């Protein structure tokens, strides 16, 4: 293709995009005044645009890519399944990949979690968990029908469906929809850099966990479950929990007879250096929600995993109507399940968790250089999940005014050097593929450091 043909093609795609495509979490007025980066293909940890320019995928294409793009084993698994069947419903039928994947998930899930309900996204996985928890208390042998409420953490994010938004805590995303939502109890975020209680570690004695106990003590008779992102809260700006917080919440849920739902949509499948983040504190939730990295970034698939105790509350004669009346057209899609099985195979074959731990240690050392920059206030890391918070003043923690779009300025400039990152407000997120090398990490850190200095020192 000649340069002229390439330019014409890019212009055509850009025009079609602006004419017809509505992008998520995007102010389209600004988008339509800009020039979109149009990705055409991927290879390993890199993405390539329609002009052939190469970019390190520093966000795993929104936190999903585990072993890289165009991974041969995953490509082959999907192709082989295409030769059998692309889709077959789980309503009244079963299919081979869905069965085998459920068994594999039960084997790798923490503790006694062994019953798998499929869906297609993190939002739906959480929605299912909420409905299971609600129905469980209505139907178990010693039913407690008053337990209909939920507890969630301030600044949490569990997806964009109505139930998931009802237990979400990011007002920027959720406040507009509040009249549509059910009421839930909210507890303070365990945010050590900007503590909502005005305290500091370690003198605070983890007072945020005490606030959880206050709510559970007062309202446990009407609370069905507490839902939380374990260890690291993603969309809130990569908020790392203080060590021991998750374990304390688990103990409190047990003490007050409340189910614990752990949303590992972002943290699951090796992202923190363990298969699931709750393993970092030896916690077993009652219900586990997974998605994103489940298929290695290939196809939409999610799972809500629970134990025999919860599952048994739904077992009864047909006319008792204790069935879990929930389902999706593509529940247990064979193509997606085949990709997920190959993804789990690669975790074993490549010793992926050990690799993540090694490169995460290197990343941690390199992040010290970022942390020393004048306008970096906080760095929060768990494995290959990182948030770099940009501030106007390190001493006071003063943020940059939202109108300056500092996060976007930094990530947009990074693209000029061949690095794709994404901001969450003033927090720069790094979540590269788990297959990333130390050399690629060095490039990512060197580029980000250079850009942060360039951008922040040229803003009044």
Structure confidence by residue, pLDDT tens digits, 270-295 = 999 999 999 999 999 999 999 999 99
Q: Residue 128: name the closest of 175, 170, 167, 91 by CA.
A: 167
Domain co-membership, 121 together with 267:
yes
Given 319, 349, 379, the domain boundary residue is 349
Domain co-membership, 364 together with 307:
no
Task: Quickly state the pLDDT bin for 2 (edges 50, 70, 90).
Answer: confident
Is 460's pLDDT higher than 70? Answer: no
- At residue 4, the pLDDT reads 85
Is 447's pLDDT higher than 90? Answer: yes
**DSSP track, 86-107:** S---SSS---HHHHHHHHHHHH
Which residues pair with residue 380 across a beta bridge?
387
d(CA 405, CA 409): 6
Domain co-membership, 112 together with 250:
yes
Domain co-membership, 157 together with 215:
yes
Residue 322 lies in a domain: yes
> What's 396's domain CATH number?
3.90.1150.10
Domain co-membership, 320 together with 421:
no
Residue 317 lies in a domain: yes
Instruction: Report, as an integer, the average pLDDT of 426-446.
Output: 98
Domain co-membership, 280 together with 383:
no
**Average pLDDT for the chain:** 96
Q: Which long-range contacts (CB under 8 A, 24 or more apart) does 320-328 make?
A: 322/139, 324/117, 324/131, 324/132, 324/135, 326/117, 326/128, 326/131, 327/90, 327/91, 328/118, 328/119, 328/120, 328/124
> What's 110's domain CATH number?
3.40.640.10
Percent of the chain with pLDDT over 90: 95
Structure confidence by residue, pLDDT tens digits, 188-233 = 999 999 999 999 988 899 999 999 999 999 999 999 999 999 999 9
- At residue 1, the pLDDT reads 74
Given 318, 349, 380, the domain boundary residue is 349
Domain co-membership, 255 together with 386:
no
Q: Inter-axis angle of helices 406-416 and 438-456, to 10 degrees?
A: 130
User: What's the domain count of the chain?
Assistant: 2
Instruction: Report, as an integer, the average pLDDT of 311-340.
Output: 96
Domain co-membership, 302 together with 374:
no
Task: Quickly state the pLDDT bin for 114 (edges 50, 70, 90).
Answer: very high
Is 172's pLDDT higher than 90? Answer: no
Instruction: Report, as an integer, the average pLDDT of 305-332.
Output: 96
- At residue 458, the pLDDT reads 80
Task: Quickly state the pLDDT bin for 459 (edges 50, 70, 90).
Answer: confident
Domain co-membership, 258 together with 407:
no
Residue 31 lies in a domain: no
* Three-class secondary structure of residue 375 per DSSP: coil
Domain co-membership, 253 together with 269:
yes
Residue 259 lies in a domain: yes
Note whether 441 and 424 are within 8 A (CB). no
Task: Quickly state the pLDDT bin for 171 (edges 50, 70, 90).
Answer: confident
Using the structure block, give the residue that is written with the tokens 């614990």.
260
Structure tokens at 226: 């507490």
Instruction: Report, as an integer, the average pLDDT of 22-47.
Output: 95
Domain co-membership, 143 together with 287:
yes
DSSP code, position 374: T
Range of the domain at 162: 75-349
Q: CA distances (Å), 411 to each of 44, 57, 211, in order?
A: 21, 12, 36
Task: Quickly state the pLDDT bin for 14 (edges 50, 70, 90).
Answer: very high
* Three-class secondary structure of residue 347 per DSSP: helix
Using the structure block, give the residue that is written with the tokens 């994103």.
292
Domain co-membership, 92 together with 205:
yes
CA 419 to chain centre: 21
**DSSP track, 151-209:** EEETT----SSHHHHHT---HHHHGGGGGGSPP-EEE----STT-TTS--TTTT-SHHH
Alpha helices in 152-305 (DSSP H): 162-166, 171-174, 207-219, 245-255
Percent of the chain with pLDDT over 70: 100
* Three-class secondary structure of residue 249 per DSSP: helix
Residue 13 lies in a domain: no
Q: CA distances (Å), 153 to each of 43, 108, 170, 452, in order?
A: 38, 27, 10, 31
Is 3's pLDDT higher than 80? Answer: yes
Give the global pTM. Answer: 0.97
Given 313, 328, 349, the domain boundary residue is 349
């Amino acid at each position: 293709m000649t340069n002229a043909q390439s330019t014409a093609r890019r212009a055509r795609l850009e025009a079609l995009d602006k004419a017809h495509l509505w992008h998520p979490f995007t102010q389209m007025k600004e988008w339509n005044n800009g020039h979109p980066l149009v990705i055409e293909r991927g290879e390993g940890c890199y993405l390539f645009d329609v002009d052939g320019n190469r970019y390190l995928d520093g966000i795993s294409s929104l936190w999903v890519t585990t072993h890289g793009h165009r991974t041969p084993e995953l490509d082959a698994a999907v192709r082989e399944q295409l030769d059998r069947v692309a889709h077959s419903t789980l309503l009244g039928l079963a299919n081979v990949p869905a069965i085998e994947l459920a068994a594999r998930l039960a084997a790798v899930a923490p503790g006694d979690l062994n019953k798998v309900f499929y869906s297609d996204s993190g939002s739906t996985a959480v929605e299912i968990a909420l409905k299971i928890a609600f129905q469980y208390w209505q139907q178990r042998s010693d039913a407690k029908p008053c337990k209909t409420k939920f507890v969630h953490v301030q600044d949490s994010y569990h997806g964009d469906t109505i139930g998931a938004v009802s237990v979400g805590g990011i007002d920027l995303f959720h406040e507009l929809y509040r009249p549509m939502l059910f009421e839930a109890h909210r507890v303070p975020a365990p945010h050590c850099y900007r503590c909502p209680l005005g305290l500091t570690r370690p003198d605070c004695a983890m007072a945020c966990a005490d606030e959880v106990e206050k709510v559970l003590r007062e309202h446990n008779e009407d609370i069905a479950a507490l839902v939380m992102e374990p260890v690291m809260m993603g969309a809130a700006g990569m908020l790392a929990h203080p060590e021991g917080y998750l374990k304390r919440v688990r103990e409190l849920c047990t003490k007050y007879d409340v189910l614990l739902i752990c949303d590992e949509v972002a943290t699951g499948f090796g992202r923190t250096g363990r298969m699931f983040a709750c393993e970092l504190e030896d916690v077993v939730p009652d219900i586990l929600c997974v998605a994103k990295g489940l298929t290695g970034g290939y196809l939409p698939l999610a799972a809500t995993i629970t134990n025999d105790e919860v599952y048994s509350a739904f077992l009864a004669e047909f006319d008792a109507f204790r069935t879990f009346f929930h389902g999706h057209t593509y529940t247990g899609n064979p193509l997606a399940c085949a990709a997920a099985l190959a993804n789990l195979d690669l975790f074993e074959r490549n010793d992926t968790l050990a690799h993540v731990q090694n490169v995460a240690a290197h990343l941690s050392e390199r992040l010290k250089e970022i942390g020393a920059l004048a306008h970096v206030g906080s760095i929060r890391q768990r494995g290959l999940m990182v948030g770099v918070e940009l501030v106007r003043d390190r001493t006071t923690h003063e943020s940059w005014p939202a109108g300056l779009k500092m996060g976007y300025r930094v990530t947009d400039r990074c693209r000029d050097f061949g690095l794709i990152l994404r901001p969450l407000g003033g927090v720069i997120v790094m979540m590269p593929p788990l297959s990333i090398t130390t050399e690629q990490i060095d490039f990512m850190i060197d580029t980000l450091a250079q850009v942060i200095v360039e951008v922040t020192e040229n803003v009044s």
